[in-house]
Structures are given as structure tokens and as C-alpha cells.
A and B are shown apart, each in its own frame.
Chain A
């Protein structure tokens, strides 16, 4: 290029323009915004947990959140990485972890679980986006093998006063596993009462999993906002419903699908964990396979396995095959093969 043209701009006060490859506009969505929206969607169920299980629930959730964020912050400082501990994703991990465990769990255990979730399952994999497994579930699984008794100690059922006496009670799924369906219905005083308790959350269980109604509210919000595809939770719930109905306690087609859908951590798992962007397939087809697989494994564990509840492990197992699903299930490229 001739020197005359390139060397001096015609006027000195020309603005200096930024040069980059297109596109030059982006939409307003960000990781932080998505993550805090998910936290917001968890809030109603979390608030109910404090009402239903009392202050220990609040303490456990706060401990979970604080230790998750702190672990991430310390790790990132130590590794000289940009600090993203406050982007909301660590908050989700801590909150989900606390919500998926007994309200009676000593807070230090929650802290250990949170730190393990962040350090082992998330940051050592490379941080947000690179974790294969849902960190909250890894944290929960680690605590399950470390403190199995504490992890399966539940508060007294229906104790709305918030006073937690260390009476070892059982969750509905526990009763079902150990004493059968009739005993389960009797515990609630009738089938209608049982459904009502499961819907409202006035039952025993992990601290954030009980209120079906409020979890549906949060999940519905995420669907409405477009962060969650309704197909994913729908397929997982439907799979569980169909399979538990078919393989009932008194032979084929005698099961209680409504109970199974609302019991345990299924609603929490289907709306907030089976939809965790990072650890599920990227395509809708892949997500349907994921959700159906998670539903089927949940039923397998609940009905045949040794544990009363299987949501956590089923999701972890499906997380493990997610890269494989993503490799095999791709969208059809426009113009490839059969056109419509």
C-alpha cells in the first residue's frame, strides 16, 4: 500500500474504530443471568423448607451456598484464574446440595459436601462447562458413602413447629421400601391425604424436595423464561409414571404413578437437575434420551435396588453417557439426506 495513503489519516480527529469479525451485536443473555434465574426459581421451595423444617434447614442451605462459593473463590485465586465464583453457578450447587439432603444433617457435613462438589466435581474438571457430572450430586454421593447414617436420618414427620428432635423417622419412599404400599397409605391416614401431603410438601424428606407445588412453580418459571425445555422434565416424569404404574406392588398395572412422581427428589431432579445445561446433552433429541434413561434408572433403583430413592444416581449415570449421546445424536444438517 502506498505510504501516502496509509501513513497519515486525513484528519487527526478521526475516531479510532474497533476492528473485529462479525457479528457486531450480541443479545443481552449472560451466564450470570441464567444462573441467578435458576437460583430465583429454587427460592419458593427453599423458603418453604425453612417454614416446614425450621431453622436447621436455613442454616444448612446457607452453609451449602457459602462453602460452595468460598471453595470456588479460593480455588480460582490459588490457580490464578479469573474469579467467577459469584456468577450464581456455585450458589446453585450449594443450594441444590443442601436441598437434596436431610435437614438434620450436621452443617459441617454440608460444608464438606459443598467443598467436594466444587473442588472435585467442578473445578478440577476445568470449571463451569467442563464438569461431566452435576457437582451437587457428586457432593451428595460423596456424603452418602462417607456418613451413610447421618445421610439417612430424617426428622420427625409432620413436625411443623421447626423443633427437630432427633427422632429417626422415615421418608415416604423409605416406608414404601421397608413396609409396603398399604403401610405407606396408613401413615398418611388415607390415599387422598397422602397425595395432598406430597403436593404441598407437608411430609418428610430432603429439605428442598418436599413441596411439589412450589418446585413446579419454579420449574414453570424456567420453562416460561426459556431456560428449560418442558420436554425434559415431562419425559422424565412420564417415564417414571408409566414404569411405576406397570410394575406395581400387586402385579402388572397396579402401581401408584402419582405417588412415585411426587415422592422423593423426582420433581426437584426433573426440573432442576435433569435440566442442568452443563451435564445433559445439547440437542432436544439427546435430552429426551437422557430424561427417559434417568427416569428408567430411577424406577429401577426405587423398585429393585437397595436404596429407597434413585434420582441422584440415575442422573449421575446419565451424566456419564451424555458425551456419548452428544456424539451419536446430532441435528440433521440442512440439505443433508432426506429433505421434507
Chain B
């Protein structure tokens, strides 16, 4: 049995809504809106112009910056607009609109049929880089950068925890297409040269565990059943649960010799390496009590939420919130015109019954947040310091920068305090302060010269 990290919560998981729905390919939308920023790092610049004809898999956006992932056309057709459009993570962003020609033709030569076992390490990394793969659990960190750690690593962990309520996309993928995940995992294990490889899955998905155990036979990959508890899928918690190693404060997984990739990401990596296919679609859970027919859909990148929700029968009840991602860490959307992106693990429509909560009151010091915090922080104090704008004290005395913003504290708070929101405010102010100081120092340096 694997370890149990301290803290955590047990929200009602809502997974029953979409869990039994097999992955279904959503029909091609008439047009897609493909944002130029779908990853952590520098946004891409369009490499096409209005009027260009593009094929599926063709690069339509790239960047000179090291930290970026290329963007590809997700269907074939004509570029009709390049403009600023709503974006699920940053409100608005430049995007390329492609009108489908109905052909859905791949770029010439795709897909390939390669034997990855005969490929060189550099060749594989290049295939992953040019496929524009990012962390598909929602973090959207460019995969090829994560796979070239600057420190030696000995354990690879595939994140199949899917601890966010309502989301079942990874679950369906593990259940229906375990072979893709195993292939992708073996590819990563080889290029990283790790000694141990695990696929971590919460024990509320016994059928997915069984499917992967069968698929992993003889590969040396171990399936790790984990306690069902949010945030089991948080990178630091997952590494601790499986390997017993604690990522140091301010550190990265590679500091303890670990690399973590999401289950959906490794499936995309398998496609990229074996077939040379860029990331142009993903499995997304469309669910929530406001959505008429919850589904797990294979959706082209750039498909508008409007089209996705319509395909699921529209809203059966008045939604209060439209979410990109899960209810614990997802982003509330103001418009149905935001497009599906590489990191879109879920699209949720939730009614007031689910989202409503009482008025915020003063902290009664009940300590529930302290018990729930997986990082060993004192969230109540951080919320109070944030409220009083005592940002430096929150950092120096209470370690606010260690917060992973999982929201467990806020979930359990009986006073309905917006704890993690105060923490985000604090962290934002501290980062801005740091940036200001850096700019000031640079200016002074410049003045001296």
C-alpha cells in the first residue's frame, strides 16, 4: 500500500454523472478558434495569414522563446480571422480562426508508422516538441522541457489520480485506451532512463486500475492504487504518496529525482512519437448538474464551449457557473465562446444548488483548514494576513509561497471565508513587489553605467 499525505478533503465527487459514458468523438465543428497561448510560457505568434488554407496538424503558431509549445491546426480548412478572442485562462488572447473545409485532411505524410524502440532519444524528444505537447491535466507545462530535466531522475510517475470532482476524462482514457498510456509511459521511461515507473490511480477507479495492470504486464511499469482524497493528483502529494519523497519548499519534482506526467499527456506523447501526430484533440469531460447529457468527448482543440454544450443537449437547468477544469481549481468562464484548449480537462455547468454558499464571516479558528491543508500551512492565518495586507508577514512567518492553491481550506471553512482567494492576492502582491524591486535594481544598475 502506498503512503497517505497529511491533510486533504473528501468532496462529493459528482463523477457518477459522466463516469459511465464511453469516450465519444465529437463531430467536427464548422470552425475552430485556436488560441496562441495554450501553455505556460511565451504566447506563440501566428505563422499563417487570413486566407491561407491549412491542413490538420500544420503549425499555425510558434515562438522564438525557449518556454513555449507549438500550436497546430486541429482541422483542415481556411484561416478566416486572426484576432483577439475570449480565452478560458487569461480572459482574452490572440487566436487563429479556421473554417472547416469538411475534409479533415491531415498534413501530407501523416500519420507515420514508426517503431519508437528504434528511435534515438533526441529523435523522440524532437517528436514530442514538434507535436506541441503540454501537460494536459491543466498545468500546461511544455512536455519536452519537463522531459529534459537538468538533474538526474530515477522515478517516473504517471498521474492518473484525477482527484478533481466531476472529471472522468482520464478515467475513461485509462479504461478504454490503456495501451496508448502504456506505450507513452514506456517511451518516457526510456528517454528519462528511470529505474522505477508508476502509474498512480485513486482507488475509487478499480476498473481503470485493473485495465492498466493488464496492459502493464511484462513492462516493468507498476500501477499504484492511491487513497481517494483530494488533492491526490497534486504533483507534490502524488510524488510523496508513491515514493515517500518530499519536494523541498520552492523546489521541483526533479529535485527529488522524479518526473510526473498526466495520463492524457502520455497518451498524446505515444501518438506524437509513433505516428508523428501533433496535439490537435483531447478527451474532455463535459459534465455538471446543469448539463443535460454529460459526456466524455474527444474534442478538437479550438472547438467553442458553445458547440460542445450544444452537442451535449445544452443546459437542462439554469447554470450559475461555467467552468474550465474541475470545481476545485478550475476557472469560471464568462462566455460560451471560449475554445477548448490543450489543457481543458473538463467543461462544467453547475447550478446554484452546487455553487451557492453562505455569507463570508470572521474566522472562528476552528482549525478545519489547518487539518485540510496538504502543505502544512495555517490557511486561516494566511487569509487574515491577506485581508490586512500584511503580505510580507504571510511570506516570512507563515510560508505563503508554499501554497499550491488546491482550495481544500476554502472548501472546508464553516465561516465560508475566501481563504485561497486571499492567498492568491497575497502571492500576487508579493510577486509584483519582487518584480518592482528587480526593475528598480536594474534601473539603478543602468543609471550607474
Chain A residues at the B interface, C-beta cutoff of 8 Å: 1-2, 4-6, 9-10, 14-15, 17-27, 29-31, 33-34, 82, 84, 126-130, 277-280, 282-283, 326-327, 330-336, 339-340
The docked-state distance in angstroms from the alpha carbon of A82 to that of B362 is: 12
Is B83 a contact of A2 with CB atoms below 8 Å?
yes
Q: Which residue of chain A lies nearest to B247 when distances are taken between CB atoms in the complex?
A: A335
Is B336 within 8 A of A14, CB to CB? yes
| CB nearest to B402 among chain A residues | A333
Known contacts A24-B323, A25-B355; is-contact A283 B378 (Cβ 8 Å): yes
What distance in Å separates the Cβ of A105 from its nearest Cβ neighbour in chain B?
A: 29
Q: Which of A19, A26, A82, A336 contacts B334 (CB 8 A)?
A: A19
B414 and A31 form a contact (CB under 8 A):
yes
User: Would you call A331 and B327 a contact (CB within 8 A)?
Assistant: no
Given A129-B364, A336-B399, A24 contacting B416 (CB threshold 8 A): no
Point out the residue from B84, B320, B358, B365 that lies within 8 Å of A30, measured CB to CB.
B358
Q: List 8 additional contacts besides A18-B321, A336-B249; criterion CB under 8 Å.
A: A5-B337, A22-B332, A29-B368, A34-B366, A84-B361, A128-B362, A333-B376, A334-B249
Residue contact B355 to A9, C-beta cutoff 8 Å: no
Contacts of A27 in B (CB 8 A): 9, 11, 411-412
CA distance A326 to B365 in the complex (A): 11
Can you sample 7 A-B contacts with CB below 8 Å?
Answer: A1-B84, A2-B84, A18-B332, A21-B418, A21-B421, A282-B381, A334-B246
Q: Are B374 and A334 in contact (CB under 8 A)?
A: yes
Q: 3 shortest A-B CB distances, which residue pairs?
A: A23-B407, A129-B362, A339-B246
The answer, among B321, B363, B370, B399, for a CB contact under 8 Å with A24, is B321
Contact residues in A for B373 (Cβ distance below 8 Å): 331
Closest to B83 in A: A2
Q: How large is the interface on B (under 10, 10 to 19, 20 to 34, 35 or more residues)?
A: 35 or more
Contact partner of B378 (CB less than 8 A), chosen from A82, A331, A335, is: A331
Task: Please indicate the chain A residues that have their CB under 8 angstroms from the CB of B412 in the complex.
Answer: 27, 29
Q: Give, as a whole number of angstroms, the nearest-CB distance from A181 to chain B.
A: 39
Bound-state Cα–Cα, A29 to B416, Å? 9
- In B354-390, the 8 Å CB interface with A consists of 354-355, 357-359, 361-368, 370, 373-378, 380-381
A339 nearest CB neighbor, chain B only: B246
Q: Give CA–CA (A277, B365) in the complex, Å.
A: 6
Which single residue of chain A is at the shortest CB-CB distance from B33?
Answer: A5
Contact of A20 among B240, B332, B414 (CB under 8 A): B332
Known: A24-B327, A283-B370, A339-B246. Contact between A333 and B411, CB under 8 A? no
Q: Which residues of B contact A (CB under 8 A)?
A: 5-6, 9, 11-12, 83-86, 92, 165, 236, 240, 244-249, 251, 306, 315, 318-323, 327-337, 350, 354-355, 357-359, 361-368, 370, 373-378, 380-381, 397-399, 402, 405, 407, 410-416, 418, 420-421, 424
Contacts of A20 in B (CB 8 A): 321, 332
List of B residues within 8 angstroms of A15 by Cβ: 315, 318-319, 322
Q: A196–B424 Cα gap in the complex (Å)?
A: 57
CB distance from A228 to the nearest CB of B (A): 11
**Interchain CA distance A279-B363 in the complex, whole Å:** 12
Bound-state Cα–Cα, A33 to B336, Å: 37
**A17–B246 CA distance with the chains assembled, in angstroms:** 39
CB nearest neighbor in A for B410: A23
Contact: A25 with B165, CB < 8 Å?
A: yes
Give Cα A168–Cα B341 distance, bound, in whole angstroms: 80
Which chain B positions have C-beta within 8 A of A30? 358, 414, 416
CA A212 – CA B374 in complex, angstroms? 38
- The reply to whether B364 and A22 form a contact with Cβ atoms under 8 Å apart is no
Chain B nearest Cβ from A162, distance in angstroms: 37
CA distance A1 to B83 in the complex (A): 8
Q: Which residues of A contact B420 (CB under 8 A)?
A: 21-23
Structural contact, B416 and A26, CB atoms closer than 8 A? yes
Please tell me which one of the listed residues B315, B334, B424 contacts residue A21 in the complex, with CB atoms under 8 A apart. Answer: B424
Beta-carbon nearest neighbor of B379 in chain A: A282
Check if A5 sits within 8 Å of B336, measured CB to CB.
no
State whether A129 touches B361 (Cβ < 8 A). yes
Alpha-carbon gap, A9 to B333, bound state (A): 14
The distance in angstroms between the C-alpha atoms of A5 and B335, with both chains bound, is 11
A34 to B: closest C-beta gap in Å: 6
Shortest Cβ distance from B14 into A: residue: A25
Q: Which residue of B lies closest to A14 (CB)?
A: B336
